[in-house]
Structure 1
Amino acid sequence: MKAMEMFDKAKPYLAMTSLQLGYAGNSIITKISLNEGMSNFVLAVYRNIVATIVFAPFAFFLERNLRPTITFPIFCQIFTLGLLGPVTNNFYYMGLKFTSPTFGSAMFNLVPVTTFVIAVIFRIEKIRIRQMHSQAKLVGTLVCVSGAMLMTFYKGPVVPMPWPSHNHLKNHDDSDKDMIKGCLCLITSNLSWASLFVFQSWVVKKYPAQLSLVTLVCLMGSLQSIAITLPVERHPSAWEVGFDMKLFTVVYSGVIITGVAYYLQGLCMKIKGPVFATAFFPLGMIITAIMDSIILHQRIYLGSVVGAVVIVTGLYGVLWGEMKEIKLPAITSSEVFPTCHSTTMIIDDELTKPLNM
């Protein structure tokens, strides 16, 4: 009995660890597909289409009586969320093409910080400068930005690894010009993702059917991605996907990252809250760096290591301040992770994770 109770308590930790493994794997296979010549625009199109197909059945059957009528203002909001998705994806993929999965994962850690800054600008988040938690978030934000700048502009010597780390893949990692270009793309993706995060937190309050909202946003993102990609990728060969790594990347990113990951993260948020889920981001960066070095044989530089440590330090400062400010009601994991088959996968209004990354 005690073993079952311990396992029940460990479920959120196991789920979030598995989720970070999934994110790390996605970064690696996406990098391989991009190196093999897959268009980032086409990848964004296919990913949104797969995500739409995955979510649609759940939305149709589980939220049949929950979906509100789509008015013109709600349509405009869904249209905006759908537009932010392709923008986020395309800039992320371009940044990943010019840098590395490790660098992209480090920039991923800046999303909570960027979200906090945007929320402050639009007065969604309030700053109480005399209180400790607000000071921690402000200092943590500055530290994260400093870490990102350090990773961008300082390379340093190669950090020795116990396994071969010679870069045999065709990439642009040794070009400082491409590194800065990739960093700018990742920063743009970060801003877009954070904007999606903030805007979504506002939209979900007006459209409570979460799975239906995700489906509609992914559908809108698919149409908008096609409209963006057709003028760019006019040759039919750019759209061809066989039974290879490109197809695996499309299915994996659509099903695992957009579908399963969103579901698992939703369950964990219901138990531990959004701060708990965000706290696992640095673990994903560590896993990505190890897989990046072993599988892709990427060299890891001292500047990246030091910058990543600085970013993680600042991130936990922001998370500590957020944790002190927001007190979430406790929910036992048995209420959310059912022992038997259940339909408790409907996601509540607190789930403000970006939809398409």
Structure 2
Amino acid sequence: MTWSIFFQIFVLALLGPVIDQNFYYVGLKYTGPTFACAMSNILPAMTFVMAVIFRMEKIELKKVRCQAKIFGTVVTVAGAMLMTLYKGPLMHLPWTNGHAQPSGGEAPGAAGVDPTAREWFLGSLFIIIATLAWASLFILQTHTIKKYTAQLSLTTLICFIGTIQAIAVTFIMERRVSVWTIGFDMNLLAAAYAGIVTSSIAYYVQGLVIQKTGPVFASAFSPLMMIIVAVMGSFILSEKIYLGAVLGAVVIVVGLYAVLWGKHKETQEQEADAKAALPVASKGPDGASVLQGAAAAAGDDDGMRSASNGRGAGSASAV
């Protein structure tokens, strides 16, 4: 491992476990889960813009596949925003009937949060910073895994260094000893789940997907968490599902299919170009093998240059 790779891993740990999670949790506290989840759905668009800036994605507006990727990214974000901001009438489902709606008619998780104007502004700013850090994590991780291909080792180093950084930040920001108290309650379960699932496993799987498809394709699936939360909340917690959630889910699926279709066409074009660049052997009239394609053309050019040099040398010796 070189110092350059170690520095990249250090920055990855700073972006993910430290900046992203801490700023997101503070923004969640100030604004509430509904707004925080909606704001996080700008991740695909932010990742796509950053990938274009760093030339990881090419914009060719004349090609349909590029138009599909742009359209799908915009539609996916719009669908996620629709799920959060538009409530609509209640959908009467068999498994949710007979259960009282929590929070006195408000959307689940929305009650209990009444921020002031200053807290709302700060919370919005913190969530935007967290989302920007998450998008930067996608971009930098794409660059790092090209040089450090051991995915499991990379994930371990990111989480380990991130833990050390988080401990240092806690010592600086928190002066109370009580924050280090660990009890066998829901707080411990939430912390363990966040560390094992949303950090360790998520970073590892995310790295595998980025290595094969790129950062834009991987981030395009992040708005699916809105659908997953709505479905799991309906079955497990008997939460109510409203028309806005159903319409938003449909829009998200349409956007994801557009992104997937555009990425599939791009992969097909890259494979076709790679095959066209390979030499193809065929037999000539005299039975000898003849190379065709770009490699054969390059060979012909080399042969012509060699013949020219030979003729020049022959002429010089004749003189």
Answer whether TM exceeds 0.5 for this pair: yes
1:227 positional shift:
2.6
Q: Distance in 2 between matches of 1:266 and 1:194?
A: 13
Match of 1:122?
54
1:83 aligns with 2:25: no
Alignment of 1:99 with 2:35, yes or no, is no
Contact 1:107–1:148 under 8 Å retained in 2: no
Is 1:292 matched with 2:233? yes
After the TM superposition, which of the residue ranges 154-163 and 199-208 deviates more from structure 2?
Answer: 154-163
How far the C-alpha of 1:244 sits from its partner, in A, is 0.8
Letter in 1 for 2:5: I
Query: What residue in structure 1 maps to residue 137 of structure 2?
Result: 196
Q: CA deviation at 1:292?
A: 3.2
C-alpha change, 1:287 and 1:74, in structure 2 (3 Å) is closer
Aligned to 1:247: 188
Change (3 A) 1:201 1:311: same
Match of 1:30 in 2: none
Alpha-carbon distance between aligned partners in 2 of 1:118 and 1:279, rounded to the nearest angstrom: 14
**Displacement of 1:204:** 1.3
TM-score (norm 2): 0.64
Higher relative contact order (CA closer than 8 Å, sequence separation 6+): 1
Take 2:92 and 2:181, find their aligned partners in 1: how far apart are those partners? 38
1:210, distance to aligned residue in structure 2 (A): 2.4
CA 1:149/1:167 → structure 2, altered by over 3 Å: closer, same or farther?
same
Deviation at 1:78, TM superposition (A): 1.7
1:232 paired with 2:173, answer: yes
Deviations for 1:291-337, whole angstroms, at most 9, x for unmatched residues?
Answer: 335656766565555445434433332232122212599xxxxxxxx
**Aligned counterparts, 1:40-51, within 5 A:** none
Higher mean displacement: 162-171 or 316-325: 162-171
> How far apart in 2 are the matches of 1:280 and 1:157?
25
2:43 matched to which residue of 1?
111
Is the aligned partner of 1:167 residue 2:99? no
Q: State the distance in 2 between where 1:301 and 1:247 align.
A: 32
Check if 1:326 corresponds to 2:257: no
- Cα shift readout 1:63-86 (whole Å, capped 9, x = no counterpart): xxxxx3x32x22321221111011
- Local SS of the residue matching 1:84: helix
- 1:195/1:93 Cα in 2 relative to 1: closer, same or farther (>3 Å)? same
Letter in 1 for 2:32: T
The one-letter code of the counterpart of 2:63 is Q
Equivalences for residues 302-317 of structure 1 within 5 A: 303=244, 305-317=246-258
State TM-score, norm by structure 1.
0.58
Report the Cα offset of residue 213 of structure 1. Answer: 2.0
DSSP 3-state at the match of 2:188: helix
Whole-Å separation in 2 of the counterparts to 1:173 and 1:250:
22
Name the stretch that deviates more: 312-321 or 108-117: 108-117
Task: Determine helix, strand or coil for the equivalent of 1:326.
Answer: helix
Shift of 1:269: 8.4
Higher alpha-carbon deviation: 200-209 or 314-323: 314-323
259-268 vs 189-198, greater mean Cα deviation: 259-268
Note if contact 2:90-2:243 (Cα within 8 Å) is conserved in structure 1.
yes
Compared CA separation, residues 150 and 264, structure 1 to 2 (3 A)? closer
In structure 1, the residue corresponding to 2:103 is in which secondary structure?
coil
**Take 1:267 and 1:209, find their aligned partners in 2: how far apart are those partners?**
10
Q: CA deviation at 1:90?
A: 1.6
Matches of 1:95 and 1:138 in 2, distance apart? 28
Q: Distance in 2 between matches of 1:314 and 1:83?
A: 31
Instruction: Indicate whether 1:256 and 2:189 are aligned.
Output: no
Q: Which amino acid aligns with 1:99?
A: G
- 2:62 corresponds to 1:134: no
When structure 1 is superposed on structure 2, of 136-145 and 296-305 the one drifting more is 296-305
Structure 2 CA distance for partners of 1:226 and 1:142, relative to 1, 3 Å: same
User: How many Å apart are 1:248 and its aligned residue?
Assistant: 1.2
> Structure 1 residue 202: deviation in Å?
0.3
Are the counterparts in 2 of residues 120 and 126 from structure 1 also a CA contact under 8 Å?
yes
> Displacement of 1:284 after TM fit?
4.2
Shift of 1:182: 5.4
Change in 2 beyond 3 A, CA 1:202/1:194: same
Q: Is the 8 A contact 2:44 2:77 kept in 1?
A: no
> What does the per-residue CA deviation read over 1:149-171, in whole Å, with 9 as the maximum and x for residues that have no partner?
5566x444453454233227886
SS of 2:256 mapped into structure 1: helix
1:235 Cα deviation after fit: 1.3
What is the distance in 2 between the residues matched to 1:180 and 1:315? Answer: 31
Unaligned stretches of 5+ residues in structure 2: 272-319
Segments of 5+ residues of structure 1 without an aligned counterpart are: 1-67, 330-357
Question: What is the alpha-carbon distance in structure 2 between the residues aligned to residue 251 and residue 106 of structure 1?
Answer: 25
CA–CA separation in structure 2 for the residues paired with 1:296 and 1:238: 30
Q: CA RMSD, aligned part only?
A: 3.9
